[in-house]
Amino acid sequence: MGRITSFADLIGIIKDKASQGKAALVSSNPKGKSLSFHLSVLRATTHDPSTPPGYRHLNVLLSAGTGSRATAASAVEAVMERLHTTGDACAALKSLIIVHHIVKHGRFILQDQLSVFPASGGRNYLKLSGFRDEKSPLMWELSSWVRWYGLYLEHLLSTSRVMGFFVSSTSSTTHKDEYEDMVSSLTNTDLLRELDALVGLLQEACKIPDIPSCGGGKPLADKIIRLVGEDYVSSVNELYTRLNEFKERSNTLSFGDRVELVCALKRLESRKERLSEIWCGNWKRSWLDKFWSLVSEVKGVIGGLEDAYEQIEKTIVGIGRREKGYESARFSDRLVIGYGDDTVSFSSGRFSNVGRFNYPVEHCVVQTTLNVL
């Protein structure tokens, strides 16, 4: 536990002890056994800015994925209740870190409960856009992290719905050949939709706030930066495979598809410097150089549009992206499969000479998805 530096810190410690004590009494009652998750959440989301959630408490919550759907729902409900009832920036950030861990390391049943909470879903369902903690200058700075991190995780969940699997999840792996065949079986519309979602996720990642200058919040910020950086690796891997597929299809793309692809690549390139500034130091430079080289190559092979960027942008001004109704409907277009041995194979030789771009990190895995026709 961090050093007590103010009366507010002391109050936070007292609140933590009182909440945990109450939860311990309730969870010890056989009738309140499911509330043991609330105790783990409280212990993982203390008011101390110097300690991210401990792995012991995270593992207790992740273990809910090995039980029934009701058990998984209880764990997710405990996390969301803490997130929506706390006014403390540290507790809110730690709750969001737990959500991120569920996305990355939770089993499918736990991830599924997270993705449908609440049942209505919708934009900003984490409800943190107006979060403010004014107890101290540090809490004020961390409040901006809460607002951004909540929005980023909403983008991550939204992107995962578009992709049909949880981006950067370690809960399932798919063989390389099966994955490549799956991508080659997608329509141009599906590929563009996924590309657009992945680029949007990276754009949101680039809005990460500066490290708190007041001191004390750096451990939390560093933890979040590492988690989002792992998503960055996974997103680049997914983009690389899809860009290779577009390169293969360059001669068959319609003008409209080319316009969408060009605009997505421009959005991606506009964030190149910011992405390199935040995360480039964490991985090999040659890995990123290879990716950006492919981006430039795809722009070249689609042909005829390099000099027409400005005209294309003027053409689409006022038209906007697809309507919201279409965007919401697309979430149900994909069925997630590929857990355990229940995988679906596709026959395709398109990727015989093009391998998946895969940076060697443990969490960079994919899941097979099936387009529902």
Q: Could you read off the pLDDT of 227-253 as tens digits, one per residue?
A: 999 999 999 999 999 999 999 998 889
Lowest mean pLDDT among 244-258, 262-276, 320-334, 359-373: 359-373
**Beta-bridge partner residues of 334:** 371
pLDDT above 70 (res 64): yes
Average pLDDT of every residue of the chain: 77
Lowest mean pLDDT among 61-65, 75-79, 212-216, 346-350: 346-350
Give the closest residue to 23 by CA, choosing from 46, 4, 6.
46
Average pLDDT over residues 61-67: 92
pLDDT above 60 (res 210): yes
Look up the pTM and report it.
Answer: 0.76
Lowest mean pLDDT among 30-34, 53-57, 71-75, 135-139: 30-34
pLDDT of residue 173: 60
Determine what percent of the chain is predicted with pLDDT higher than 70.
Answer: 66
Burial of 198 (0-12, 13-18, 19+ CB in 10 A): buried
Q: How confident is the model at residue 6 (pLDDT cuts 50, 70, 90)?
A: low
Give the closest residue to 82 by CA, choosing from 45, 112, 50.
45
pLDDT above 50 (res 58): yes
Q: Are 163 and 199 a contacting pair, CB within 8 Å?
A: no
pLDDT of residue 308: 53
> pLDDT, tens digit, for every residue of 87-135?
999 999 999 999 999 999 999 999 988 887 765 544 446 878 899 999 8
Return the top range by mean pLDDT from 189-203, 213-227, 287-301: 189-203
pLDDT of residue 229: 92
pLDDT above 80 (res 1): no
pLDDT of residue 71: 92
Q: How confident is the model at residue 276 (pLDDT cuts 50, 70, 90)?
A: confident
pLDDT above 90 (res 309): no
Q: How confident is the model at residue 214 (pLDDT cuts 50, 70, 90)?
A: confident
pLDDT above 50 (res 186): yes
Q: How far is CA 87 from the centre of its chain?
A: 24
Neighbours of 131 (CB within 10 A): 21
Lowest mean pLDDT among 28-32, 158-162, 246-250: 28-32
pLDDT of residue 224: 96
Measured CA to CA, the distance from residue 213 to residue 211 in angstroms comes to 6
pLDDT above 90 (res 300): no
Higher-pLDDT residue of 271 and 357 is 271
Taking the CA of residue 19 as centre, how many other CA atoms within 13 Å lie in the half-sphere pointing to its CB? Answer: 21
Report the SS3 class of residue 104: helix
